[in-house]
Amino acid sequence: MSEPVDLLIRGTLVNVHTGTLEGGAVAVDDGEIVALEERPAERELEAAYVAPGLIDAHMHVESSMVPLVRYAEAVVPRGVVGLIWDPHEIANVLGESGIRSAIADVGKTPLKARITVPSSVPASGLQQGGATVGPDAVDRLLDANAVVALGEVMDVPAVVAGEETVHEKIAAARERGLTVDGHMPRVTGSTLQEAARFLDTDHESISLEEARAKAAAGIRVYLREGSSSTDLATIAPLVEEIDTRFLSLCTDDRDILDLVDRGGIDDVLRRAIAEGIDPVTAVQMATLNTAESYGLPFGRLQPGAPADLVLLSDLETWAVDHVLVDGVVDPTGGSVGAAQWRGPEETRSGGAGDEETRSGEAGERRSAEPSGETPVTALSTDTVACGSISPSDLAHPAPTDADTVTVRVIDSVEGIQTARKTATVPVRDGVLVANREADAIPLAVIDRHRPDGPIGTGFVHGLGLDRGAIATTVAHDAHNLVVAGRTHDAMATVATELCELGGGIAVFDPESEEITALSLPIAGLLSDQPLTVVCDQFEAVDSAATQIGLTDETLLGLTFLSLEVIPELRLTSNGLVDVDRMTYVDVVV
Amino acid sequence: MSEPVDLLIRGTLVNVHTGTLEGGAVAVDDGEIVALEERPAERELEAAYVAPGLIDAHMHVESSMVPLVRYAEAVVPRGVVGLIWDPHEIANVLGESGIRSAIADVGKTPLKARITVPSSVPASGLQQGGATVGPDAVDRLLDANAVVALGEVMDVPAVVAGEETVHEKIAAARERGLTVDGHMPRVTGSTLQEAARFLDTDHESISLEEARAKAAAGIRVYLREGSSSTDLATIAPLVEEIDTRFLSLCTDDRDILDLVDRGGIDDVLRRAIAEGIDPVTAVQMATLNTAESYGLPFGRLQPGAPADLVLLSDLETWAVDHVLVDGVVDPTGGSVGAAQWRGPEETRSGGAGDEETRSGEAGERRSAEPSGETPVTALSTDTVACGSISPSDLAHPAPTDADTVTVRVIDSVEGIQTARKTATVPVRDGVLVANREADAIPLAVIDRHRPDGPIGTGFVHGLGLDRGAIATTVAHDAHNLVVAGRTHDAMATVATELCELGGGIAVFDPESEEITALSLPIAGLLSDQPLTVVCDQFEAVDSAATQIGLTDETLLGLTFLSLEVIPELRLTSNGLVDVDRMTYVDVVV
C-alpha cells in the first residue's frame, strides 16, 4: 500500500452496492479497484461521476450484423463493458463449433461478453438449419470458458409438460450452478407458475401486468428496449412498485443503425432515466443486478472488482468522458458520440486492430481480412452451400393443366406475425406464378446449409413488393435463403447473387437492372466490414427495398417468414407449415 | 398440474423477492413450492401471514453448548429453517475430522445448517489446541457437502500483508466460487479498503460509522445480536440510509438460556422490527439476503424453492403458528413459546428422537446415549486427555527463597478484555500463592488435548473470586482446561473433576464442599443432555460461580483468558503471552 497506484479518479461515486451517490475517489492498480479512497497515484483523473461499466443483460450480437469485435467498437466508448450474448443465430447456422467460435471471439475485445448456451436449436424438427444443438452439446458447452447460463428456453409448453430434452438441458445448467434464462412471451397464470419453477429470467414482457406477475413469481424481469421490441416505457412503472434488485435492462436485438446512431445498453439506460427511473436505480439495473444474475465479478464498484469504470460529465444523460476496462483507459479508442462514430477516422483509430495488438491474440491471417490485421472473428465465412439458382428451382409446379389454381398464401399481417389466406394464381408453362392483383407473389426457401438441399416453394401476401425480388440469408431461425419476387427470373437472379456473396440481403430492381446487396459472409449473418461501411450498405439495401415497395416492417417480416414456430403459416425449405398443427400442408388447396 | 397438490396455504404472502405483502396462496407438492396461486389440494391451511423460513447468517452452534440437533429443537418451531454455522470451536478441538462430524450432524435434523470452513485454526502458533486446520485441510473441506464459504477470516493484518497461508485459503474458496466471510472488528480506513478486496462479509461492526464504511466498500454487513455482543440497535439506522440487499441478520453467539428463553435469529428479527425496521425488509435480511450471500436455494418464497415456510398469526411480533421444512409441517414438533420450551414434555415430544426416526439416519448406539435413541451427534466425546491433577501441577515455582515475589498479573478488566498488571505474591513451600488482598489469584491452563501436555501457570486479577475454584474446558480458542482459584488444592479438586467429566464448567465451593458442574462431554464443549437439562445445569453452575464471587461478565471473561490474540496479557498452556509483542513473557518480573 506504500507504492503509488496506477491511477486515481476523483468524482461523485455511483455506489451501486449502497444505492447512493457520494463524493470520493477510486484507486486503480494493476487493472483492479484497490480502494475507494485517496491514494498516491502515478496519474490522476477527475470526473463529475464515476460509475461501474454497464452490462447488457440479454442480447444477440447477430442482430447488429457485425461480429463481436465491431460491436464492441460501437458500445465500449459509450460505457458498456459487458454483455450477456446468446449466440442463438450463430448456433442455428454453425452449431456447437459456431458457439465455440463465438466464445473464441470473446478474447478479441476488451468488451466482456459472456455467453449463454443456446437451448432451442433447432426451432423444430420441421426444417433443417445448419445444425442441431442437442443435450450432449449443451452439456459440453456449459463447461466452456465465458459461459454463464443456459440461453433463453423458448419452448415453454415443453418445460411445463416435462419434456425430457429441454429438462436435460436445464438440469445440466443447474448442476453447474448456472442461471437458466427464459423466454416467456405472454406466459401467465398456471403456465407461468409452472415455468417459474425452472426458469430464472425473462425479457419478453410486453405489458406491465405480465411483468408484475413474473416478478411476483420470483423471476428476474429484464426491461427490454431493442430495435423491433421496445417495451421499456410500458414496464418502467414496475420500478416504483417493487424491490428493484431483480430487475435488469437489456437490448435483446439492436440493428446496426440503432447500434451506431444511439448505442447499446447505454441508450436503454438513458431512456430509463428519461422515463423517470432514479438514475442510481437505473445504473444498478444495468450493472450490479445483472452481475448478480449471472455471478459476474464486474458491474461493481468496490475494492477487489476489476477496474471497469465510466467517467461521466453528466449522470442523467450518461455523458461519457472516458471508459476503463481492467484499468485500461478508453481501450477501443477515445470517447465518441454517435456522429463521430459514423466517420471513418474514428473507426480506424478506435478499431479492432489496436485491441487485438493489446490482447496479444494474433491469429492466422485469412484472405477475407485486409492485410496486416488479425481476423475480427473466428466464425466461418463458408456457410452458403447453394450455388447457381435457376428460375425453375423456385417455381411451384402446377398440379393440373387448368389456367388457375387456388393456393394457400402466407399473409404477412403485422410485424413478424402471419395469417392464413388463400388466393387464385395463374399457371404458366406448368408452374404457378404471381397473381399481381391479389398481391400473391412467389416465395421460396432454399436450404443454404448443404449442397443440393431441398427448396420449399409457395406464396406470400402483404410484403408490398411491386417489382423485382429480394433475398436474405438472415431468416430466423434456420437462416436458410428466403427469396420473394414478382417473377421467378428476378428471384433466381437475386438468390444466385446472394449465394455468390456467401450470404446477406440483396435486392434486385428490374428498372435499374441493379442488385443492391449487404454482404454478410460471416455465417451468412454478419459483415466483415467496418461499422460505417455496414451502416452504409444496410441503408442502401433498405433504400433499394423501399424502392421496390417494401417497408421497414415488411422487410423485418420477411426475415421471419420461415420461422415455423410462430403462428400461423410459414414456409420452410421442406415446404409449407401450418404452425397451429405443426404439420406440413400442401400449397395447392 | 391436474392432480391435487399436497398442501395449499392461504394468507398474506411476505414476498421477499418483490419486497411486498399481498394476499395469495402457496401450493406445496413433494416438498417444493410449486405455485403461488390457488390449486386443488389434499390439505389446506390458513395463516395471517406466510413467510419464508429464517436463516441465521453467521453463528456458532457451540456457543449454545448443545449439538446441532438440540439447537434445532429450540429454533425450528420458531420459524428458523437455516443457519450458517462456523464450527470454529469444534475445529480447534477436533480439527478436520471434527468439522466433518459437524457436517455429518447436518443430516440429523430438518434444520438446514450450512457450514463455513474455519479459516483461523489455531489462533496462533503460541498455544496447542486440539488441532491445526491448515490450507490443505481447508482445501479438502471446501469440497465437502453443506459447505458454503470460508469461515470468518480473523487475521486481518495477515490478509493486508499478503501472508501466504491465509491467502491460500481465500484462493481455495474463490476457485470454487464460494463466499469468504470476514471478521473485522474496528477495521477502518486503508486497512478496511485492503481487506475489502478479499473478504465478502463482516458481522463485527459495533458502531454505525464502522458499518457504514464497510457497506460503502461493498462488504455485506451482518447486524449482530448475540448474547454477549448486541449491536443491532446501534447499526439499525443504516437500514434507512442504504440499499438493504447486502444487509443480513445474525446471532454469532447465543448462550443456552438466551436460545431457549428468547430464540435464535427469530429473536433478532423481532428486535429489528421493534427498532423500526420495516417488517418486510427485516424478513429479507433474515432470508433472501442471506440466501443470496451464500447461494442458498432456500430462504425464498417462489415456485421451485423448497417449501420452507413459516405460518404466522402476526408478522411484527413474528408469532409462529406452524413451520414447514421441505413441506413437512412442524418437523421438530408443534409450535412453541419460550415458556413451553422449558417444560420437559415439550422437549420430549419435540425432541431429536422424532426427527432422527423421520430422517432415517440410524447410527450405531453409543454408551453416552439413552438406550433406543440414535446419537445426537457424530462428534467425539473423548477429547479430554488430562487425568488426575495435583495441586503442585498448578503452582508456579518460586524463583528464589524470598518471602514475596513480584509477578505479572492478567487484569480481567471488562468483558473479554485484559490489561497488564503487576502484584507481589507470597512464597509458600517453594511455590507462589495468592495475594488475597491484591486479588492476585493463581490461574493455570492445562493442555487437555494430549496426555501429559504442558501446563501454564500464572496469576489473574479481577475475576471477583473470593473462595474455592472454577474450571472450564470452554476456553477460546484452544479450549484447553483453564482453572482459577484461591488455593492450588481447590483448583486441583475442580480440575480433576472436570477431567473425569470429559469437559465442561465446574465450580468448587469450599463452604459446601460441593462441586457444581455443567458436563460438556461432546468435544469438551457441548452437552449430551436435553435442552431443559442443559439450561438447569447452566443456571446451577452460574449460580455456584456467583456464590464464590464471579459475575456473568467475569465468568465469560474467564473463558477468554487463554486467547492469546486479544490484548493485552493472556495465559496459554505454554506460559504467559504478551499479546502486543506476540511473545512469551516470564510470570516473575
Contact A521, A381 (CB under 8 A): yes
Interface confidence (ipTM) of the complex = 0.91
Residues A216, B160: C-beta atoms closer than 8 Å: no
- Per-residue pLDDT 10s for chain B (589 aa) are 579 999 999 999 999 999 999 999 999 999 999 999 999 999 999 999 999 999 999 999 999 999 999 999 999 999 999 999 999 999 999 999 999 999 999 999 999 999 999 999 999 999 999 999 999 999 999 999 999 999 999 999 999 999 999 999 999 999 999 999 999 999 999 999 999 999 999 999 999 999 999 999 999 999 999 999 999 999 999 999 999 999 999 999 999 999 999 999 999 999 999 999 999 999 999 999 999 999 999 999 999 999 999 999 999 999 999 999 999 999 988 643 233 333 333 333 333 333 333 333 333 323 333 344 568 999 999 999 998 899 999 999 999 999 999 999 999 988 889 999 999 999 999 999 999 999 999 999 999 999 999 999 999 999 999 999 999 999 999 999 999 999 999 999 999 999 999 999 999 999 999 999 999 999 999 999 999 999 999 999 999 999 999 999 999 999 999 999 999 999 999 999 999 999 999 999 9
B-facing residues of A in 177-206 (CB < 8 A) are 177, 189-190, 193-194, 196-198
Summarize the confidence of residues A121-139 as an average pLDDT.
Answer: 96
Q: Does B326 touch chain A (CB under 8 A)?
A: no
Residues of A in contact with B17 (CB under 8 A): 215-216, 218, 243, 246
Dist CA B34 CA B23 (whole Å): 17
What confidence score (pLDDT) does residue B364 get? 32
Residue B232: C-alpha distances to residues A49, B52, B210, B226, B439 (Å): 33, 22, 13, 9, 36
List the single residue in A35, A243, A300 with the smallest CB-CB distance to B190.
Answer: A35
- CA of A179 vs chain B CAs: smallest distance (Å): 12
What confidence score (pLDDT) does residue A374 get? 67
Q: Does A237 touch chain B (CB under 8 A)?
A: no
Single-letter code of the amino acid located at A28:
V
CA atoms within 13 A on the CB side of B245: 19
Residues B17, A216: C-beta atoms closer than 8 Å: yes
The DSSP code sequence of A306-374 is B--EEEEEETTTTEEEEEEETTEESTTSS---HHHHHSHHHHHHTSHHHHHHHHT------TTSPTTS-
Contact A583, A576 (CB under 8 A): no
Give tens-digit pLDDT for A240-267.
Answer: 999 999 999 999 999 999 999 999 999 9
Number of Cβ atoms within 10 Å of the Cβ of A226: 21
What confidence score (pLDDT) does residue A415 get? 82
Reply yes or no on whether the pLDDT at A433 is more than 50. yes
List the single residue in B20, B27, B193 with the smallest CB-CB distance to A36.
Answer: B193
What confidence score (pLDDT) does residue B415 get? 82
What confidence score (pLDDT) does residue B387 get? 83
Residues of B in contact with A294 (CB under 8 A): none
Which helix (H) or strand (E) element contains residue B136?
Answer: helix B135-141
Give tens-digit pLDDT for A218-227.
Answer: 999 999 999 9
CA atoms within 13 A on the CB side of A58: 30
Dist CA A5 CA A48 (whole Å): 21
List the single residue in A197, A218, A305 with the smallest CB-CB distance to B17.
Answer: A218
Q: Does A19 touch chain B (CB under 8 A)?
A: yes
Which helix (H) or strand (E) element contains residue A397?
Answer: strand A396-397
Q: Does B304 touch chain A (CB under 8 A)?
A: yes
Residues B241, A20: C-beta atoms closer than 8 Å: yes
Dist CA B545 CA A532 (whole Å): 84
Give the neighbor-by-neighbor strand order of the sheet with B481-485. Answer: B396-397, B431-432, B417-428, B404-414, B455-461, B440-446, B481-485, B469-472, B504-509, B514-519
Give tens-digit pLDDT for A73-91.
Answer: 999 999 999 999 999 999 9
What confidence score (pLDDT) does residue B367 get? 32
pLDDT band (50, 70, 90) for residue A507: very high
Single-letter code of the amino acid located at B350:
G
- How far does CA B281 lie from the centroid of its chain? 26
Chain B residue with CA closest to A193: the answer is B35
Q: Is A234 exposed, middle or buried (0-12, 13-18, 19+ CB in 10 A)?
A: middle
Which helix (H) or strand (E) element contains residue A452?
Answer: none
- CA of B172 vs chain A CAs: smallest distance (Å): 16
Show the CA angle centred on residue A83, arms to residues A79 and A87, nearest 5°. Answer: 145
Contact B508, B494 (CB under 8 A): yes
Contact B515, B374 (CB under 8 A): no
Residues B292, A292: C-beta atoms closer than 8 Å: yes
User: Facing residues of A33 across strands?
Assistant: A28
Chain A residue with CA closest to B177: the answer is A295
Q: Does B275 touch chain A (CB under 8 A)?
A: no
Dist CA B536 CA B347 (whole Å): 13
Rg over alpha carbons for chain A, rounded to the nearest Å, is 25
- CA of A465 vs chain B CAs: smallest distance (Å): 48
Dist CA B169 CA B345 (whole Å): 46
Single-letter code of the amino acid located at B353:
G
Residues of A in contact with B37 (CB under 8 A): 189-190, 193
Mutate to test the interface with A, among B243, B301, B308 (most CBs of A within 10 A): B243
List the single residue in B194, B242, B295 with the smallest CB-CB distance to A177.
Answer: B295
Reply yes or no on whether the pLDDT at A29 is more than 70. yes
List the single residue in B36, B198, B243 with the smallest CB-CB distance to A18.
Answer: B243
Q: Does A297 touch chain B (CB under 8 A)?
A: no
Given CA atoms A255, A258, A261, A265 in this order, what sign does their dihedral have?
negative
Residues A17, B190: C-beta atoms closer than 8 Å: no
Cell numbers for A30:
494493476
Summarize the confidence of residues A301-318 as an average pLDDT.
Answer: 98
- CA of A45 vs chain B CAs: smallest distance (Å): 20
Residues B215, A303: C-beta atoms closer than 8 Å: no
What confidence score (pLDDT) does residue B349 get? 35
Residues of B in contact with A17 (CB under 8 A): 215-216, 218, 243, 246
Residues of B in contact with A35 (CB under 8 A): 190, 193-194
Given CA atoms A305, A308, A311, A314 in this order, what sign does their dihedral have?
negative
- CA of A119 vs chain B CAs: smallest distance (Å): 20
Summarize the confidence of residues A47-73 as an average pLDDT.
Answer: 98
Residue B135: C-alpha distances to residues B141, B479, B539 (Å): 10, 21, 40
Q: Does B5 touch chain A (CB under 8 A)?
A: no
Q: Does B486 touch chain A (CB under 8 A)?
A: no
